Structure 1
Amino acid sequence: MHVLRSRYGCALVSCFFAAAAFGQTNGTPHVQLEEASIAQLTQQLRRGELTSHTLVQQYLDRIAALDKAGPAINAVIELNPDALAIADKVDAARKSGKVYGPLHGIPVLIKDNIDTAGKMSTSAGSLALADSIAAKDATVVARLRAAGAVILGKTNLSEWANFRSTHSTSGLSGLGGLTRNPYALDRNTCGSSSGTGAAIAANFAVVGVGTETDGSIVCPSSVNGLVGIKPTLGLVSRAGIVPIAHSQDTAGPMARTVADAATLLTVLAGSDVRDAATKDADKHRRDYTKALDAKSLKGARIGIVRKLAGVGPEVDRVFDASIVALKAAGAVIVDPVELPNQGKYDDDESVVLQYEFKADLDAYLAALAPNVKTRSLADLIEFNKAHADREMPWFGQELLEQSQARGGLDEKVYKDALAKSKRLAGAEGIDAALAKDKLDALIAPTGGPAWVTDLVNGDHYTGGSSTPAAVAGYPAVTVPMSAVHGLPVGVTFFAGAWSEAQLIGYAYAFEQATHARKPPQFSAHIDTPN
């Protein structure tokens, strides 16, 4: 297991902060961190009942007690050694009457494939980038800082955002080790924003940022009982984020409530000269907190995509109960709805990801500091072979090798696969389904409950609903739906491009009607019926 890379690493050996985390810190009254929201903490900060310094310290104490000791969730790969100093600066600014933005003084965790200038590295979970410190913040990090957030640290992930092997175990990286699910420690956290999912579920920060190519925000959000927003491609900048594929990659919020996720998306969204895909973002971005209306579902036409369900009888049961809740909230249900071309672009998606991974990763690695010796995908493959005992003890790197064998982005096979997949998933898929039945949104279970982690055989993934929106580049919002044997499961709302505000409204109304999220209890395992 990777040792925590910061001056707080002593927690692994001698600094068990349980008393401080749950009582007092240096005489300072304990802050109620469990399930604390941005609005609640901001109110305390504004009133002077709390300082950001105290808040950051108590999150650090909680991480020491529960992430690196106790149940040892292992969600945080690195703490920010400047976190307390930054907290002091935002405290001083508030005292002088200056508030930077809606996250002023709020601790945030970000996935460790997002560049941070300063003292933390950006590794994508790989030993090859263990000492890679970015020269410049990713745009999303710059936006967080500008809004007053305190970057508390970085979270573990499925290495290379889970684009390494078809037999991988989600939540595992060579550098960070294995992240555990706080609802049942022997269960998986799903990939690839696994550390962010587990950390925010376990209340190690107020909110977190994940990234998704296909499922890597919504799946870990679902199995960790969180709200996750996968935005429209181009709403949030990818500049400074370790890539998989520019036609599908995006960063997005992961939070315990829809309100917190909406606040975070408001900060993250916007055009960026460093990412051409965001040229229209400013035309579409808005204050997403204004969509938080508990009556949003009244009269909304919601289509049920039954063919994206069926991941298990218990999930189907709670999904049916969720449909009842939607009706009670005033939604008009169209059931079932056919999603055209479902499954017909899976092979094309794989082709696109392989081509773009090679091109995009080569460009990212080539621009790193001179001390980083891995400058290309070919270099990475050789590095993994040379360090196979630490990088590949359980599974290989066939996806890296398949990508390396691909040609350039000018090849016809790539261009055809990209055009076909976008058309079938978007205009002739989601858009067509919405138009046919005059629907406002589609829903399906996000996926099944977390499976038992199996390092020998890899993930036991039972299916999910992320692919249509991911391939089309359209938004999707997952929100806690219920629990199956004590394990969270989510429901996903998705629709056409730039429909984030609408989907956030529906998710908020559903959340307020059901209050399905329950905090984790850090159980060793789930007792199932005989």
Structure 2
Amino acid sequence: MRALVLALLLASAAQAQPVGPAEANVAAALARIEAVNGEVNAVLALTPDILAEARAMDRRRMARGPLYGLPVLVKDNIETRELPTTAGSLALKDNRTGRDAPLVARLRAAGAVILGKTNLSEWANFRGDTSISGWSGLGGQVRNPHALDRTPCGSSSGSGAAVAAGMVTAAIGTETDGSVVCPASINGIVGFKPSVGLVSRTHVVPISASQDTAGPMTRDVRTAAILMNAMAGSDQADPATVEADARAVDYVAGLRADALKGARIAVLRSATGWLAPVDLVFEEALAVLRAQGAVLVDVEAPEGRAAMGEAEYKVLLSEFKAGLNAYLASTPAAVPVRTLAEAIAFNEANAARELGLFGQETFIAAEATKGLDDPEYLEARATSLWLAGADGIDAMLKAADAVVLVAPTVSPAWMIDAVIGDQSPGRGGPTGYAAIAGYPHLTVPMGRVKGLPLGLSFVGTKWDDARVLALGYGYEQASKAFVDAPLRASVEGDPAVAPLLAPVR
């Protein structure tokens, strides 16, 4: 990676021609990657000849789209024509399909430069019980640029860390349940999970046909809205997007600094009370909402939500097996696995690298499922959808006569732990509800605890993406809570913290 970045930069420096905006943007991104990726490990691969591509773009006489010359990194479970799409697994290291996912093609058509691929939680964090967010067999461990010994969350770990570390202003992640909003919150950036069906999932390594979606991860809400303008739209190959053309709007046009004035907002109080410093930051965020004219109404999550999570897991296991088998069947001959069962066997054969930190219990459980006609699966999907949507978000919004729900997104970043894996101290916010129901979910930076970022979640009902973005934008403009990542080694080594941990003599 380091040698490739240096070669690209030297090639740029050797050019006598004036540098255009696309080339300048790409060169700056490559320089930043060269400077910090060795510590953060967010970028897995760079697009070959990317500076030459940007230079050619600048020289062509062409209409300059809204994303013209913007370097965008893409999570490595989304296909791009120049690079393999690996999902972080050694089994897919040769998965060179030579095609763009439709969402990538749309970004290119709007003028974006696809800079490369980001590291991720292997198989989008759907392989083993004690997985470590941000670790993949192919790429190693992504680190949080706010404290390098702490989690970047996942599974869009590299996308979140790359934006937070200033490598790019925009990246693409994917989410099934939390994989955009958690790393966005924990890395201190904006993350938007759109309504499921607004963005095509074709040529994206799947987990769940019911819940999967791609979404933008950016330094500000406006950039996320610009990306959504490009990405949203119907795709004949993805039946979930049949309504997307009719539902998509100009997401940038709806952004107003006064969007919060008069908006009724439901405050999810059951997502608080588990860590006092988080509650303090959340109350400050609520004060900003009030000061901007929002009307806040407290709500509690309905009881008995454990059944929602149990049903969701059954859904994901069944849909993962079906979706992955279909995807693997379409991969090039160089890919050594064609089914989930073969992927399990591959991991066992390559256990030293693939299974050295955690196992593949989730894979094995998915392989044991009985298909999408199984009555148990069908009942689980109906149950999870009802509890998350009509009896969940919709019921809470109706009780408050509100248009969106707000809550802390997730806890501050926990330690990377090779023994017990992810053991977040966080409590239930709105992430699971929005993921299962397929509703839009935006997280925006709201503050820090000992330098670790926290996000404020805005969740709306199905297809209300534009309003969610607009209200989040109003909060962002008033709060100005974004902070650059310092790339410090740890919280515990901070000058304000270290003396308090030292032995008392």
TM over 0.5: yes
Q: Is the 8 A contact 2:299 2:396 kept in 1?
A: no
Correspondence for 2:76: 112
Report the CA distance between 1:310 and its aligned residue: 3.4
CA distance in 1, matches of 2:388, 2:30: 43
Shift of 1:366: 0.5
Q: Which residue of 1 aligns with 2:416?
A: 453
Find 1:292's aligned residue among 242, 246, 255: 255
Could you tell me the TM-score, scaled by structure 1's length? 0.90
Correspondences of 1:244-283 after superposition (within 5 Å): 244-283=207-246
1:494–1:340: structure 2 CA closer, same or farther, 3 Å change rule?
Answer: farther
Identify if the C-alpha distance between structure 1 residues 242 and 290 changes in structure 2 by more than 3 Å, giving closer, same or farther. Answer: same
Q: Distance in 1 between matches of 2:301 and 2:131?
A: 32
Contact 1:135 1:369 in 2 (8 A): no
- Find the aligned partners of 1:81 and 1:310 in 2 and give their Cα distance: 49
After the TM superposition, which residues 128-277 of structure 1 pair with which residues of structure 2 at under 5 Å, given as runs?
A: 128-277=91-240
Aligned residue number for residue 442 of structure 1 = 405
Question: 1:204 offset after TM fit, Å?
Answer: 1.0
Q: Is the 8 A contact 1:213 1:244 kept in 2?
A: yes
Structure 1 residue 26 and structure 2 residue 10: aligned?
no
2:266 partner SS: strand
The equivalent residue for 2:485 is 520
Paired residues of 1:481 and 1:489 also in contact (CA < 8 A): yes
Q: What secondary structure is seen at the aligned counterpart in 1 of 2:252?
A: helix
Matched position secondary structure for 2:359 = coil
The one-letter code sitting in structure 1 at the alignment partner of 2:187 is N
Alpha-carbon distance in 2 for matches of 1:167, 1:259: 36
Q: Please state how far the C-alpha of 1:135 moved relative to its aligned partner.
A: 3.5
**Alpha-carbon offset, residue 343 of structure 1:** 3.4
Judged with a 3 Å threshold, the aligned counterparts in structure 2 of structure 1 residues 105 and 10 are, in CA distance, closer, same or farther, namely closer
Matches of 1:235 and 1:406 in 2, distance apart? 28
Of 294, 313, 337, which residue of structure 2 is paired with 1:350? 313
CA distance in 1 between partners of 2:73 and 2:230 (Å): 14
One of 339, 350, 373 as aligned partner of 1:376: 339
SS in structure 2 at match of 1:67: helix
Matched residues in 1 for 2:358 and 2:306: separation? Answer: 26
Distance in 1 between the 2:375 and 2:282 partners? Answer: 42
RMSD: 2.0
Kindly provide the amino acid, as one letter, of the partner of residue 447 in structure 2.
S
Q: Secondary structure at the match of 1:251?
A: strand
Q: Match of 2:55, as an amino acid?
A: D
1:480 aligns with 2:445: yes
CA distance in 2, matches of 1:385, 1:311: 40
For 1:408-462, what per-residue CA distance to the aligned partner results, in whole angstroms no more than 9, with x for missing partners? 1100000000011101111121111112221111111000111111111101212
Give the TM-score normalised by structure 2: 0.94
Distance change (3 Å), C-alpha of 1:61 and 1:393: same
Q: 2:476 aligns with which of 501, 508, 511?
A: 511
Give per-residue Cα distances to partners, 1:112-134, cap 9 Å, x unaligned: 0001113x110000000011112
Q: 1:357 to 1:311 in 2, by over 3 A?
A: farther
Tell me the CA shift for residue 85 of structure 1: 2.3
| Match in the other structure for 1:326 | 289
Work out whether residues 266 and 406 of structure 2, in 8 Å CA contact, stay in contact via their aligned partners in 1: yes
**Which residue in 2 is equivalent to 1:61?**
31
Q: Which residue identity lines up with residue 509 of structure 1 in the other structure?
A: G
**Aligned amino acid, residue 104 of structure 1:** Y
Alpha-carbon distance in structure 2 between the residues aligned to 1:356 and 1:231: 20
Q: CA offsets per residue over residues 17-40 of structure 1, 9 Å max, x none?
A: 9xx89xxx7399xxxxxxxxxxxx
Letter in 2 for 1:74: N
Instruction: Tell me the secondary structure at the aligned position of residue 78 of structure 1.
Output: strand
> Kindly, what percent of the aligned residue pairs are identical?
49
Q: Distance in 2 between matches of 1:413 and 1:344?
A: 14
| Separation in structure 2 between the aligned mates of residue 101 and residue 126 of structure 1, nearest angstrom | 35
Shift of 1:64: 1.3
CA shift digits 1:357-402 (9 cap, x unpaired): 0000000001101111111100000000000101111100000000
* SS of residue matched to 2:320: helix
Quick one: distance in 2 between partners of 1:235 and 1:54?
32
Provide the rounded CA distance (Å) in 1 between the counterparts of 2:413 and 2:371: 37
SS at match of 2:172: strand
133-142 or 103-112: which moved more?
Answer: 133-142
Aligned length: 492
Q: What is the CA-CA distance between 1:250 and the residue it aligns to?
A: 0.3
Q: Which of the numbers 65, 69, 80 marks the counterpart of 1:101?
A: 65
Matched, 1:73 2:40: yes
User: Residue type of the partner of 2:48?
Assistant: P
3-state SS of 1:344 partner = helix
What residue identity is the alignment partner of 1:79? L
Matched, 1:470 2:470: no
Matches within 5 A, 1:333-412: 333-339=296-302, 342-412=305-375
In 2: Cα distance, 1:491 partner to 1:100 partner: 34
Distance 1:311 1:139, change over 3 A: farther
Superposed structure 1 runs of 4+ greater than 6 Å apart: none
- Contact 1:111 1:157 (8 Å CA) reproduced: yes
